[in-house]
Amino acid sequence: MDPLLKLDDFTMHYRTKAGWVQAVDGVTLSLARGQALGLVGESGCGKTSIAMSVMKLLPYNSKVVRGRILFEGRDIYSMTDGEVRKMRWKGVAMIFQAAMNSLNPVYRVGNQIVEAIVTHEPETSEEEAWARVRSLFELVGIPKERMYHYPHEYSGGMKQRAVIAMALACNPKMIIADEPTTALDVIVQDKILREMDQIRRKINMSMIYISHDVSVIAEVSDVVAVMYAGKLVELGQADDVFKRPRHPYTYALMRAYPSILGEKHELATIPGEPPNLLDPPSGCRFHPRCDRASAECSKADPMWREICPGHYCTCHNPVEIGGTWVGQVRSGKAADGGDQLGTSSNS
Amino acid sequence: MALPATADAADAILRVEHLCKYYPVSRGLFQRRQLLLHAVDNVSFEVKRGEVLGLVGESGCGKTTTGRLIARLTFPTTGRIFVDNADVSKIQGADMAEFRKKIQMIFQDPYESLDPRMTIFDIVAEPLNVNGMGNLEEREQRVAEMLSLVGISPPSAFLFRFPHELSGGQRQRVAIARALVMNPTFVVADEPTSMLDVSIRTGIMKLLAQLREDLGISYLYITHDLAVARYLCDRIAVMYLGKIVEVAEAEEIIKEPLHPYTRALISAVPVPDPAVKRPVPTIKGGVSKPINPPRRCRFYERCPVAKSTCAEQDHPAPREVSGGHFAACHQL
Amino acid sequence: MRGLSQNWAVFRESRIGMLGLIVILLFGVFGALWPIMINTVWDPLIYHPVVGFDPMLLHPSPPTKAHLLGTDPIGRDILAQLMFSTGREFLLGVLSALITVVIGTVIGTVAAYYGGFTDTFFMRVADIMMLFPFIPLLVVVGSMVRLTFFPFAIILGVLGGFGGITIILKAQALSVKVRPYIDAARVAGGSSFHIIRAHIIPNVLPLSFLYMMFNVTGAILSEATLSFFGVLNIDMSWGMMIHTAEAAGYLFDFGKYWWLWLPSGLAITLFCAAFYMVGRGLDEVVNPRLRKR
Ligand SMILES: Nc1ncnc2c1ncn2[C@@H]1O[C@H](COP(=O)(O)OP(=O)(O)OP(=O)(O)O)[C@@H](O)[C@H]1O
Ligand SMILES: Nc1ncnc2c1ncn2[C@@H]1O[C@H](COP(=O)(O)OP(=O)(O)OP(=O)(O)O)[C@@H](O)[C@H]1O
Ligand code: SF4
Ligand SMILES: [Mg+2]
Ligand SMILES: [Mg+2]
């Protein structure tokens, strides 16, 4: 079957006073119906830029340099405005990283969602829309009477949950969730991720989760894409990428993840400075910070290749499969994670 | 909540006593009767000089409100806040300017807390400007230095951009730089690293720890990320629906949580391994309602260990269970 | 908020806004032609808009080769009057709109920021201004002390400034005031004056600018109305041109003497519409929500 979404060598740059920011460079990936893709990467590497490109909501200082984005087989950059409007919300809905920017400060939150529903589904009556909003609020865990409040009366996490409710309101074919749970505590996050997962399976919706939090990505995605400095560096089944990270960046990222399980140990960072996208490093963009870099890394751009079936990576010296960090975490989990849950009697 | 008696009261840079903040809210579109939303309800704690106190808790439980009260962005309904033993609500005139220099806040939403019409330079330099610190050249230098400290590199590529030309995490770091540029003595950090990846976040955490060593900065560190709290904080306070339900040393609270809410919170932390399926949290679903809450324990409806006595009594007062470990639960 | 070039890009997509802008530019060129014409081609004795007179014709004369739009009842060239007035209309419209907007912005933000008594006071003033029929009032005042050009522009601006625009700009300032970046400025140690000047006003300004466009329209229309009633001491304007025709009794047969009122009437309409359309175009820049859905 045709993939629902396909990015083909997509490249997009921003113009700034200091030069062109190469925010998305040669990204190729595809997403099947019902599939959940996790997109991880450093802050500022271009995750939101990809999402905005798919929504065709790029700012005016952006430029699509080359490549295409196909939604249901159609190039969205050759669609008319009317078609794009139709695609948004019903086709692709987005949970924006800037939760507040998608809420209008002068309208009550409930009214905004109802308006979104009736605009995009003219056949729905207002009462039905209100009923749907009520059930969505239940889903995201906001008391229903707070539908009638203004956004500034919400806490940070409540705004974010309202935006999640809004994205789910029109049963889209695909949702792009940009850091959907950053402002939420783990219990609410857990509940929302579970519910979204259920909805996704029920209506066979596709999902792109963007997050800096690898543990969230691990929980919700089938496929994981790792980005560094505007480029995709690794792509594969979630299991593969997490258990056998092949790109040195992915490997370092996983290792740096602090855990609350097991003993407290010194936190690892990835040495060096975040890359300057105005003038990205030559060859492999990760080479100045890479502990496996060889001479050719600074010269030649590594190829995007299938390193094992379904597992893509761009690296001259990929990490060998072998003892990885995951083992430790797992055993830590078994040792005292289980314990913590079990021995709940106290005092 | 009962205060952990410190040997020397002057030791505390921040002391909060029986703090309450109720917001009047309307019930619905047509019902005009005013109800009270108990955002912060009888909260007491203190932060010692050079200490990092973590504040974790459910979304909407009143963490930001507590921070805003401390930074004097809003006034408490009742209760008092002391910074350096001075009552915050009584500060006036020239003392106010001093207070503003001492206390800084990093706001939760970096999309909303940076003025969209200002460049990054103007934003970070604003505290210097309004306090008339240094000339333009010195400010520029200081701002560039701050930006590279928080990992906005090279600063020259960002100084004259507008906030909308930055990614979420970059904005967050700009907000951190702005709060630290004046060398404050106390920082209310409201989820300052929620949009940062582990590597940059670790860098920021190390920076905060460094500044605390060098300059003795104390923090109230609001976060929902227990792993971060564990690494950065000396003590952690857990909040639920306007109440502090547990306070203890960071390691202790993570290893031996006492309050049923804390336990649920810790068991819900996700693990970066797709093969691990965590159990569904033990606490019951349902949503917490802070509007005119009943007198009984705020956690009662969702508590897995609640007994009927919990429903009959008032919200439990915190009790020192072991040295420095306070928890508020009838069933301990 | 976007940079200038991005704003321009958004604005350019608005057809109505662009059309308005083009019309304004054409008026600009038209007005700029006046000093050139009078110094080169046109004989000031014949073509002066106020004291010119063409002795070769009977007046009012319909369009001829020499007077492309004809002459008025006392023998002055209509085209010259039209051109001459354009610059004054620009001056009047922009000056009074500027005054209105400056006053409205300052009062609106101050009322929003401080709230309480300040707010109530200015809002009541605004209510009174809105309800008060100040055009008829000006007709009365004007018939006693005939207003000249600048005092008139200033009065118009001030009256507008305390009126409805304050309410609109206050609403905007209120929505800016609850933004966290205002809190951030306060934590940084900014005084109320600093916060109003550096944060609230800049964020209200796009809307002020937008309303300035609509106010130009309002000012020109008021001027035309009052000139028509002959209560302004202004030597020449589009309103005056119609007034001249009316005073001499030619408007009773307006089909026959169309050149006396049509060019100026059209100019007023087009000019006002153009500023209104630019305002609409700016609306899409200022309120991006109109763009998204
Ligand atoms: N409108 C813009 N103009 C110029 N540069 C921009 C613009 N938007 C983003 N950028 C730059 O492009 C890069 C990618 O930004 P993007 O928002 O996609 O990052 P991100 O991966 O979502 O990061 P984060 O996790 O921090 O949100 C960043 O370096 C950012 O500074
Ligand atoms: N200005 C306000 N008017 C009315 N209610 C408010 C206002 N500000 C906050 N609240 C309410 O007070 C409660 C506490 O809000 P607060 O922002 O302190 O939560 P929080 O702990 O920071 O949550 P989060 O982690 O989601 O940001 C929430 O129920 C919120 O809706
Ligand atoms: S290509 Fe070279 S520099 Fe890049 S990640 Fe692989 S080893 Fe490191
Ligand atoms: Mg982003
Ligand atoms: Mg908050």
**What are the tens digits of pLDDT across the range B163-220?**
988 999 999 999 999 999 999 999 999 999 888 888 888 889 889 999 999 888 999 9
Q: What is the pLDDT of residues B229-278, one digit of tens each?
A: 888 899 999 999 999 999 999 999 998 999 999 998 888 887 766 666 66
| Beta strand extents in chain B (DSSP E only) | 12-26, 34-48, 52-57, 78-83, 86-87, 103-106, 186-190, 218-222, 235-240, 243-249, 319-322, 325-327
Nearest CA to ligand 1 atom 23: A44
Both tokens of residue A131?
């009923």
Q: Would an 8 Å CB–CB cutoff place C121 in contact with chain B?
A: no
In angstroms, the CA C162 to CA C129 distance is 7
Neighbours of chain B (3+ CB pairs under 8 A): A, C
Helix (H, G, I), strand (E, B) or coil at C113: helix
pLDDT of residue B40: 94
Query: Domains (ranges, CATH) in chain B?
Result: 9-26+34-84+185-327 (3.40.50.300)
In angstroms, the CA A26 to CA B250 distance is 44
pLDDT tens digit at each of 293 positions of chain C: 456 677 787 788 788 889 999 999 999 999 988 888 888 888 877 888 877 777 777 777 788 887 888 888 888 888 888 888 898 888 999 999 999 999 999 999 999 999 889 889 988 888 888 887 777 777 787 778 777 888 888 888 888 888 888 888 999 899 899 889 999 999 999 899 999 999 999 889 888 888 888 888 888 888 888 888 877 878 888 888 888 888 877 777 767 788 888 888 899 999 999 999 998 888 877 765 544 43
Which ligand sits closest to the CA of A186?
2
Q: In what order do the strands lie in the sheet with A231-237?
A: A92-95, A174-178, A206-210, A36-41, A223-228, A231-237, A311-313, A305-308
CATH superfamily of C14-57+67-290: MetI-like (1.10.3720.10)
Domains of chain A by residue range: 100-169
pLDDT of residue C20: 93
Domains of chain C by residue range: 14-57+67-290
As a whole number of Å, the CA-based R_g of chain C is: 22
For residue C110, the distance in angstroms to the closest alpha carbon of chain A comes to 20
Both tokens of residue A150?
């203004």
Q: Do A119 and C3 touch (CB under 8 A)?
A: no
Q: Do B126 and C190 touch (CB under 8 A)?
A: yes
- Residues in chain B with CB shorter than 8 Å from the CB of C195 are none
Chains B and C form CB pairs within 8 A to the count of: 70
Q: Do C178 and A61 touch (CB under 8 A)?
A: no
Q: Which residues contact B209 (CB under 8 A, 6 or more apart)?
A: B232
pLDDT of residue C127: 86
- Residues in chain C with CB shorter than 8 Å from the CB of B113 are 180-181, 183-184
In angstroms, the CA B15 to CA B46 distance is 4
Q: What is the pLDDT of residues B30-81, one digit of tens each?
A: 566 678 899 999 999 999 999 999 999 988 899 999 999 999 999 999 999 9
Q: What is the pLDDT of residues A282-327, one digit of tens each?
A: 999 999 999 888 999 999 999 888 888 889 999 999 888 754 444 3
In angstroms, the CA A173 to CA B265 distance is 33
Alpha helices for B15-111 (secondary structure H): 63-70, 93-102
For residue A113, the distance in angstroms to the closest alpha carbon of chain C comes to 14
In angstroms, the CA A62 to CA A50 distance is 12
In angstroms, the CA A227 to CA A250 distance is 9
Q: Is the pLDDT of residue A339 over 70?
A: no
In angstroms, the CA A55 to CA A69 distance is 10
Helix (H, G, I), strand (E, B) or coil at B173: helix
The candidate with the shortest Cα–Cα distance to A88, out of A185, A27, A169, is A169
Nearest CA to ligand 2 atom 5: A153
Question: Which residues lie across from A173 on neighbouring strands?
Answer: none
In angstroms, the CA C11 to CA B162 distance is 20
pLDDT of residue A336: 37
In angstroms, the CA A281 to CA C92 distance is 58
As to burial, measured by CB atoms within 10 angstroms (0-12 exposed, 13-18 middle, 19+ buried), residue B111 is buried
Q: Which amino acid is at B176?
A: I
Q: Do C181 and B105 touch (CB under 8 A)?
A: no
Nearest CA to ligand 3 atom 1: A315
Q: In what order do the strands lie in the sheet with A74-75?
A: A19-31, A5-16, A62-71, A74-75
Of all residues in chain C, what percent carry a pLDDT higher than 70? 95
**DSSP H/E element including A197:** helix A186-203
- Beta strands at B12-26 and A311-313: parallel, antiparallel or unpaired: unpaired
Rounded-to-5 percentages of helix, strand, coil across chain A: 40, 20, 40
Q: Is the pTM of this model over 0.90?
A: no
pLDDT of residue A61: 85
CB-facing half-sphere around the CA of C107: CA atoms within 13 A: 26
Question: Could you tell me the pLDDT band of residue A338, with boundaries at 50, 70 and 90?
Answer: very low
In B, minimum Cα distance to A331 occurs at B276
Pocket of ligand 1 (CB under 6 A): A 14, 16, 21, 23, 41, 43-49, 59, 61, 97, 212, 277; B 164-170, 195
